Structure 1
Amino acid sequence: MVCILFTDLDGTLLNGETYAYQAALPTLAKLTALGIPVVPVTSKTRQEVAQLRQEVGLRDPFVVENGSAVYFPIDQTRFALPPGEDVDGYRVLQLGCNYVTARAGLKAIAQDLGRPLKGFGDWSVDQIVQLTGLSPGEAKQAKAREFTEPFMTPKNVPAEQLRQAVEAMGFRVVMGDRFSHLIGADAGKGNAVHQLVQCFQASNPDAHTVATIGLGNSPNDLDMLENVDYPIVLPGAHGAHPQLADRGWTVALAPAPEGWALAVEDILAKIAA
């Protein structure tokens, strides 16, 4: 069975409230034993993901800041290393813009809309702690952006108007209830998935067909879930997100991390059969 598992983190592999992941560890060990890569695909920064990978024991590439870059550990062999720069033991495949460009873009979009748009670059670590509930250490990692700018979703601008203003400036926006993310035009979780599959096939030429599994819990994950063979939705405490619930996709039986483990075990059994 040749497959790759792509997973969001908060609310998907990690519990949305407590960030617990212990219930997923036996399934992660099983995936390792089966030789199935587990690729985090997240809006988090490289610093945030690098720490979590250490804690959980993940060794495969990972996708950061809503598909703005893929980090390939240089010492792994399952994925061919794409052309790119090497940074801190990773080969970096950059798909989006850099952070300076994203910050300038947010200012230009705010001017165009005639509305103030405030992002992580405008706030201190303490302010991000207050806005997000993260610890100071976590807020510092979340602020260490390299490609994208999360900003407060404006209440008085219709979503379509915001999207049009963003696209007119040559960017994309990933809309969220509280925070939205300004990303480069070529960034996106779906593009990152395709790039990773190509790198995997380049390193495994006998793998003519690669089954892709994707797990996510919010509209932020649509771009990934629409680009995998087996999309799985993780519910929150009150069920699946309305924008993901009605697409005919599998909905896990419980929230993360228990639901993640159950859904992965189930799909592995189906693929193997």
Structure 2
Amino acid sequence: MACIVFTDLDGTLLNGETYAYAAALPTLAKLAALGIPVVPVTSKTRQEVAQLRQDVGLSDPFVVENGSAVYIPVDHSRFALPPGDDVDGYRVLQLGCNYVTARAGLKAIAQDLGRPLKGFGDWSVEQVVQLTGLSPSEAKQAKAREFTEPFMTPKNVPAEQLREAVEAMGFRVVIGDRFSHLIGAEAGKGNAVHQLVQLFQAQNPDAKTTATIGLGNSPNDLDMLENVDYPIVLPSAHGPHPQLADRGWPVAIAPAPEGWAMAVETALTQIAA
């Protein structure tokens, strides 16, 4: 059976504290040998993911900025490239809006709510370093937004009110504990998963079904986990995130990367059975 692994990065494939991933390498090598793609699905930018893919040794397409675009290496041979523009050796399948639109949207939503909403575009590299704990080079990559605007989650606005204001302006929002992400109406990790599954299946019409495994650790992974066949929750050292713990989904028996490797191995066994 054809299979695809969709995975978040920080706290899922990479350890949430140390960013270690060595324990996942044997499983990644096994997946490569089996011809099973491993697709990062993340809120990170293309610059951040391109660096990580190189470090970890991933070669498959990847999804950036909460499902706003899919980047497919142009030398990718698993399926025919969809129509789109080429950037830095990738074919871009854009699902969301562009960054200028997201910035303008955030200003309009702030005005509508009567609350200042500050995003990455308002902050210098130094301020992003202070707010996130990233290194200066990482902060620079994180600021290289192409489609979405992360902003400080307003403390005095109920989540429902924020969501309604965002949707009234024609956007979507992924609400997080510290930062929320303003994304285009058609963007979303779930939509990106469906687009990629269709591309893989179009190339392999004999594979009647493609089993999808999804791994995530936080509420911004919900859209992906709800749209795969085998959703798996990665816990932190303190256990699974409360918003993911009560879904009836399997929780990996250890944090990343050890838990990632064991959970993927278990899921492969279930699919093969």
What range is the shorter-chain TM-score in? over 0.9
> How many percent of aligned residue pairs carry the same amino acid?
89
**Structure 1 residue 122 corresponds to structure 2 residue 153:** no
Equivalent in the alignment of 2:240: 240
2:174 maps to: 174
Tell me the TM-score normalised to structure 2 length.
0.99
SS in 1 for 2:214: strand
Is 1:267 aligned to 2:267, yes or no?
yes
8 A contact 1:39–1:61 mirrored in 2: yes
Equivalent residue, structure 2, for 1:51 = 51
Q: Distance in 2 between matches of 1:80 and 1:177?
A: 39
Q: 2:140 — aligned with what?
A: 140
Deviation string 1:91-116 (CA, Å, 9 cap, x unpaired) is 10000000000000000000000000
Partner of 2:75: 75
For residues 63-102 of structure 1, what are the structure 2 equivalents within 5 Å? 63-102=63-102
Code of the aligned partner of 2:256: A
CA distance in 2, matches of 1:252, 1:69: 28
Once the two structures are superposed, what CA deviation does each residue of 1:138-164 show, in whole Å capped at 9, x if it has no partner? 000000000000000000111100000
Q: Any gaps of 5 or more consecutive residues in structure 2?
A: none
Q: 1:151 maps to what in 2?
A: 151
| TM-score, scaled to structure 1 | 0.99
Match of 2:4 in 1: 4
CA distance in 2 between counterparts of 1:148 and 1:207 reads 35
1:172-192 CA distances to partner (integer Å, 9 max, x unpaired)? 000000000000000000000
Name the amino acid aligned to 1:203. Answer: Q
Q: Deviations over 1:36-88 (max 9, x none)?
A: 00000000000000001111111100000000000000101113311111111
For 2:215, the equivalent position in structure 1 comes to 215
Q: Deviations over 1:204-250 (max 9, x none)?
A: 12112100000000000000000000000000111111111111101
Instruction: Tell me which amino acid in the other structure corresponds to 2:133.
Output: G
Superposed CA RMSD in Å reads 0.6
SS in 2 for 1:86: strand
Unaligned runs of 5+ in 1: none
Q: CA deviation at 1:262?
A: 0.6
Contact 1:214 1:230 in 2 (8 A): yes
- Amino acid paired to 1:120: F
